[in-house]
Each structure stands twice: as structure tokens, then as C-alpha cells.
Structure 1
Amino acid sequence: MRRVILIPSILIPALISVDLKFQTTGNKNRGKSMEIQSPMKLKRLVVIGRHKKDRISDLPDAILLHILSMVPDGKQVVRASVLGKRWRSLWMSVPMSIDFNFPQTENLVVTLDYLSSTLTELHYCKSCDKIPRFTIGGFRYEHCYAKYVDLWVSFATKVAKVEEFLLGLLSINDQTYDFPSYAFKNSLLKDLELRNCQLNPRTTVDWTNLSSLKIGYIDLTDDAMEKILSGSPNLKSLELDNFSGLQRLEINSVKLTQVMIESYYNDNDEIWLEIVAPHLQHLEVLELCSEIRIGQRNVPSLVTAIFRLNFNFENEEQDLEMEFSCLKELLHSVAHVQNLELGTWCIECLSILELKGWRPPPSSRKFLELNLAVIQLDFPGIYSFLQSSSDLETLIIGCWYNHNERNLLARYTDEDELSERFEKHNVKCSFSHLKTITINNFSGSSSENKFVLQLVKYLLKHAAVLKEFVIASTYQWMSLEYRKMAQKLLSFPMSSPHASVIFSDI
């Protein structure tokens, strides 16, 4: 026998998002199936429910809690308390996350209204048994709002005792929030992200359970960073974003194996950031990072390095040689890694260095990803890296068609000279271990991809044990241009008899 449950409107989002079927546990209905009606019928059921008995409240606690846990909005969970006496305490047992996403406006009235609403919501949420996550995003911080931020931090660390806390502030007129001293002692936090928060721990830090830390838009000191790292013995991942001041990042923990650095800057070009991390396994350096030094002896355990960076010294002409020197130093420091990814700026500089006679150090890398600006003459840099990667097993080429670069390479060579030089190199390089080649973001006409096609032809000719050649394109499936390009690629000779050519859409 099928029974129809009358659904209160407040629970409709949860029941639409999940297909619930369950068995009733009451003695009278034991073993009989109860099924939620389809979403198209829910509104009709709600109207009926206003006049008939509310049967959903008769369900066991376990089922009601499951329904409440599927409600995506924490405010709706709180409002469930108005459904009846049974619900007044039930909603408090549901793990509920709090997310404040401030409207992007300079209207003071709107901002103050939203601030007031956060206090109201926290007043009700303090009764919850468990709040695993608390996030604040997009708040335009000024010192006059410090009391509100103080309350959020206090609620997260003292009242709710959350495991995940994100305090994402936007700085107005370079005003940053001073992170309170008591918040540096918390044994429950697992994931912490702070933006535009000044970190000046006056005593020791006690983040014993912290596994992931993200810090952004901040002026850091060596002393503060040392206290944070020493007070986070279980930290596994560290991300530093848009920061300055730090001169030495020394990581001695065996557990901290992943570091990402994005946009490191200093007003004084004489100040450099040195990274010393003997147990580090994964390192990413992204965006503008002019003054970073990594010696190979400093990162002996490194397995994966990702350099999608750009140097931006103030005097481009004068400091060009310094940029080349910095890049060479970085590449020497990661010659031992198994996996390496380079961004478009690195490839452009490598091309110039190759034309100047410099060669990358030999490596035993197995995986290489190269991102090239297709409109440029990047192939000397690509070739030089392929030549130094004799053990390579997987190669990924990322194509960027509208990438805004400085076009330095055009000062050193032209298209005709480059083509001739590239052809001469063909007989000097083979890939005895290369099994997989992937071309990502492939699009455009044959003329736009002249050099890419030349590179593909070269790779297929020399990869004797190739198993898979994947072209991931943005072409509309089975368009005329797609078919033309596919026919062109399939016409290239392949030295491997076992290679499969795979076309896929992005």
C-alpha cells in the first residue's frame, strides 16, 4: 500500500535534491513502503497539508534528521523550529555550516543591514550541537568594523569550535584586521584560511590539529611564520598568496609536504625568499614571483614542481639577464623531480636561452607539462627541454592562443630562422620511453597552429614506444574545421606501431 506524505514547504528543497525512499518503523505500518511524491507534485501536497494532519512529523528522528541534513541553506534548518514542538530541539542536532557572502556594494546601508543579519543568525546558531564550517567572504574591511570581525572569530573559535574557518576580508585603504592572540591557540581547527589578516603571534602558536593553512594578502615576518609552522605539527598543506616581507621559509616537518606560493613581492629587490624544506614533495610557484630561491639541496625530497610564474623586475631591459639567471637557478634546483610543469613565460625565456646556447640540466623526470603561447615562436624552449628529458614517459602540451606576453623572443629570431633551426634539431632527439602525449586546448585554423602541427609531427616521428596520443580540443564536434584538423593529424607518420590517436572535447 502506498501512502503519500504531506510535505511542509520549508523542507521542499531538501526533498527535491535527494530521492528518498524508506521503510516506516511504526508498529501499525511496519514493512509498508512510504514514498516521497515527485517534485512536480510537491506544491500540491503542501497546499493539502495546510488542512490535514502533518504526517511527516510522525516519522522517526533518524529520518527527520536525514531530511534536515539535506537542506542546503543553514537558515532554513533553523526555521524548521517553527514546524512544531517536535522540531524545536531536533534541528539543533543537525551539523550545520554557516556561510556569510557579503554583497559587493559600497552602499553603507546595505552593508550595515547584512552585518546586523549575521549577528541574528549567530544568535540562533549558537544552540546547534555541531557547526563544522564557518566562512566569511567578500567583506570590505575597515577598522570601524573590527568589533564585528572580533565577534565572528570568537564565535568560530570559542563558541562553535569549528573545524574549518575561512575569514576572507577585502582591504579598504590598506586596512587589515589584527588577528587576535587567543585565536592562535585552538586544538580543533583543521582547515584555516585568512585573507587581509595581520598575523603577529606574541607567544607560541597552538594549532595542533591543523592540516591545511591558507594565508593571503599579508605582510609576513620570518618570526611569525616560524611560530605558525612550529605550532602546527600536523600541517600537511600550506598556501601563501599575495604576500611580502618573508625572507626565509624553513619547513622541517615531515608531514608538511605541499606548498603553493602565488604572487610574492617586495619593494626592495635586494630581499629574496629562500625556501628550505627537506621533506617537501609538491611545490607550486605561480604568477608574479621575482625573488625566490630554491637550492636543490634545500628540497631533496621534491617530487612535483609547478612553475607557472612570471618575473617582473622594474627595468625590463636592464634586468632581463637577471631574469634569465633566476630562471636557470630555479630549473637547476628542480632537475631531480619526477614531475615538472612550466608556464608560458618560462617557455619564452627558455627559448631565448636556447638561442643563446644554454641547455637545461639533464634530468630523470617522467612527466612534463609545457604551456606555450601558440602565437609566439616558443619552440626552441620546448625543444631544449625535450632534449634534456630522455626518460620522459608522459608529455602534455597546453596551447594558449590569446595569451598576453612580452614577446621577448621576437627580438632574438624570426619565423623563418626558427623553422630552419627547428628542422635541424629533428635528428638529434629521440624518446625511447615516451608512452603518452596529450595536446590540451587545441583549436583554431591550420595557419594558427602551424608550429603546433610541426611539433606534433616531430613527436610522432620520434616516439617509438608511444601508446596514446590525445588531442583535447575546443572544436565543435564534427565541424568542418575539426574534420580538417583531424585528417591533418592522422596523416602524420608514426614510428610506434601500437599508438592510438584519441580525439576528445573540452
Structure 2
Amino acid sequence: MFHNRCSLPNSQPFVERVTRTLETYRAGYMKKFTVDFMYNKCYASQVDNWISLAIRNKVEDLDLWLHLCSPIRPYKLPHHVHQAPSITNLSLQNCILGLNGAVAWKSLKSLSISTVDITEDAIEMILSAPYIQSHHILALPMAEEINLGPYCIQMLSMREMIGLQTPPMRWKILLLTAHLDEVDTPGIFRLLLNSLSIETLIVNRTCDGCSDLLLNSGVPAGGILCGISKVSVIVLSLLKTVKFTSYRGVRGLWLPTLELILYLLENASTLEKLNIVVSPGTDYRQDEETLLKLPRSSPHAEIIFRRQIVY
């Protein structure tokens, strides 16, 4: 595990140290490889070499957390990462993910994508993988957890608005980082509708990222529910735990948040806990009274409000 959060000029010694360490590694097996440092495009070849050496040693957990100090081109993930069957957990930040050709993540259980430049075709390939078996794409039958950021969610919303549906998924844990506005909600609802085995949903609200992606595309963002049908009751029959973070109330701009909560209460027939972590300074008492009175399809559903702890 390699961490370096110093300024960009001081990254060179760190890069050299990581390279020397990996070049002398001869175990033939690597449980976890994590790199967390200030990236510049001049280090692209070294990062390529790190990934190649990690894959050669059958890495299982690959975490590539790159930080950009200026608006430079993110790191482009090499194609052989898509051909690494040993990877069980993959976490990417500030990368370009282009999936052209075969994907061999046969052991993948967890995929986390944060601030990643990803094409619509790549999103479709990732989300379609559990049901595609061909010579071009191999399945991801073991993927149980996925973490999607604002960009990916809004890309899904764009697909929904123009009539391109998302195929059924079988992950058990879905982690979303979203703005929770009318731009995000079409993609979120479609993900919920097609998440056949979802047991845990965690929604982290953020103000960062590309909130204007869908608005600037010219695609209308109307219709929060996007024509979600009654079949959603069956789809959410396994959902037991829901958590919202950075909650700021349901009034005004936060109406989509309320609609999402209502939808979950109405359709998650086995829901046990709805945890709402409130942002500092938010008066949530009226919201709490309102939500506690709402009907729920699950007789065991418990709604819990608590304030976010700031250290």
C-alpha cells in the first residue's frame, strides 16, 4: 500500500520508490495493491508498469486513487486491466475507463468508480456484463457490490430519458454518490428497478461533480418516476437496509430526495432500517415527524434520524 499526498514536485521520489519495490517483488501473488498519490501525465508510463507488475503477480484488490492538481488529462487505464481474471475488488479515481473488446473480470466482487471519465459504451458494457456471454465479453457473475459516482448516474439518466434501458443486475450492495436532484433521479430509479438482488442501498449526497451533464445535453429531465411500474415491488423484495448521508431536508430543491424515500418505503417489502444521517445545521424535526407517519410496505421498517458527526 503506497500513499503520498505531498505536492506534485515531491512526487518523483515516491514514484521511484514504488517502481523499485515492485520490480523486486517475486512472490507471484499479491493480495492488495493500493496507490494513492498526486498524479501528473509524466508518470503515466510508470503507473502502467506498476499495474502490469501487479497483474503479473495475480493481484486481487487493485486500488488506483489518483489526485489531479490541475485540469490535466486523467490517467488512461491500460487495456490489460480488463484481462485480469485475478481481480476481485477494483477501485478507480481520476482515470479514463474505456472498454473496447473483451472483459475478463471473472472474479470481480466489488467495483468502485469515482471521478472517472467513462464512455456511455463502457457503462453499458459494465452494467450488462452479468448477462452477456460471448467471445467479446465474459460475464461478471460474482459481482456483489458496485459504487457509482455522479457522472455515471447522470449518464444512466441520459440513457433513460432517450429510451435506452439498463439491463437487470444481481449485485447485493449498491453505493451511490449523487446530487439527488431531478437530473440524478431517473438513473437512480432505473438502477433500483433493475437491481434484482439488492439488499443494501447507500446514497451519499454530494454537491461536487458534473451536475450540469444532463442539463447541458439537451435531454429533458422531466418525470421523476420515469414510468417505473408496479413490478418494482417484486424487484425490491430483498432490500433490508437503506442509508442516506448528508441529508439536508426535503423542502425546496430536496423534493427528489423525498420522492426517493417515499418510493423505497412503498416498495421495499422487507425493509428493516432506513438510516438518515443529517448534515450539520439542518433542522430535521419536521421531516422526521412527516416520514414517521408515512405508510410502509414492510411492517418491520424502522426510520432512524441522526446528526452527522464532524471531527
TM-score category, normalised to shorter length = 0.7 to 0.9
CA distances 1:54-105 after superposition (whole Å, capped 9, x unpaired)? xxxxxxxxxxxxxxxxxxxxxxxxxxxxxxxxxxxxxxxxxxxxxxxxxxxx
Write the mapping of 1:73-472 to structure 2, written as runs, cut at 5 A.
Answer: 170-172=7-9, 176-177=12-13, 195-197=14-16, 227=23, 231-233=26-28, 235-241=30-36, 242=39, 243-245=43-45, 246=48, 249=52, 251=55, 253=57, 256-263=59-66, 272-275=78-81, 276-286=83-93, 288-293=94-99, 297-311=103-117, 323-333=119-129, 336=141, 337-400=143-206, 402-405=207-210, 407-410=212-215, 411-414=217-220, 417-419=222-224, 422=225, 424-430=227-233, 431-444=236-249, 446-472=251-277
Give the % identical residues.
22
Distance of 1:349 and 1:386 partners within structure 2: 15
Specify the SS of the correspondent of 1:504. Answer: strand
Distance of 1:398 and 1:489 partners within structure 2: 19
CA distances 1:106-144 after superposition (whole Å, capped 9, x unpaired)? xxxxxxxxxxxxxxxxxxxxxxxxxxxxxxxxxxxxxxx
Distance of 2:227 and 2:5 partners within structure 1: 53
**Displacement of 1:475 after TM fit?**
4.7
- Pair 291,307 (structure 1): closer, same or farther in 2 beyond 3 Å: closer
- Pair 396,199 (structure 1): closer, same or farther in 2 beyond 3 Å: closer
Distance of 2:186 and 2:259 partners within structure 1: 13
Distance of 2:179 and 2:2 partners within structure 1: 38
* Corresponding pairs, count: 282
**Displacement of 1:261 after TM fit?**
1.5
Specify the SS of the correspondent of 1:340. Answer: strand
- Pair 501,253 (structure 1): closer, same or farther in 2 beyond 3 Å: same
Question: Are the equivalent residues in 2 in contact too, given 1:340–1:368 (CA < 8 A)?
Answer: yes
CA distances 1:466-489 after superposition (whole Å, capped 9, x unpaired)? 11111111255xx7x311111222
CA distances 1:207-258 after superposition (whole Å, capped 9, x unpaired)? 6xxxxxxxxxxxxxxxxx6x45x6244532112343513287462545x321
Which has the bigger relative contact order, CA under 8 A and spacing at least 6? 2
Specify the SS of the correspondent of 1:301. Answer: coil
Q: TM-score, normalised by structure 1?
A: 0.49
- Pair 263,466 (structure 1): closer, same or farther in 2 beyond 3 Å: same
**Displacement of 1:297 after TM fit?**
4.8
What is the CA RMSD across the aligned residues, in angstroms?
3.4
Question: Are the equivalent residues in 1 in contact too, given 2:265–2:297 (CA < 8 A)?
Answer: yes
Specify the SS of the correspondent of 2:252. Answer: coil
Amino acid at match of 2:305: F
Distance of 1:298 and 1:432 partners within structure 2: 31
Question: Are the equivalent residues in 2 in contact too, given 1:264–1:290 (CA < 8 A)?
Answer: no
Question: Are the equivalent residues in 2 in contact too, given 1:464–1:496 (CA < 8 A)?
Answer: yes
The structure having more radius of gyration, on CA atoms, is 1
Q: TM-score, normalised by structure 2?
A: 0.77
CA distances 1:269-299 after superposition (whole Å, capped 9, x unpaired)? 998443133222211112x211444977522
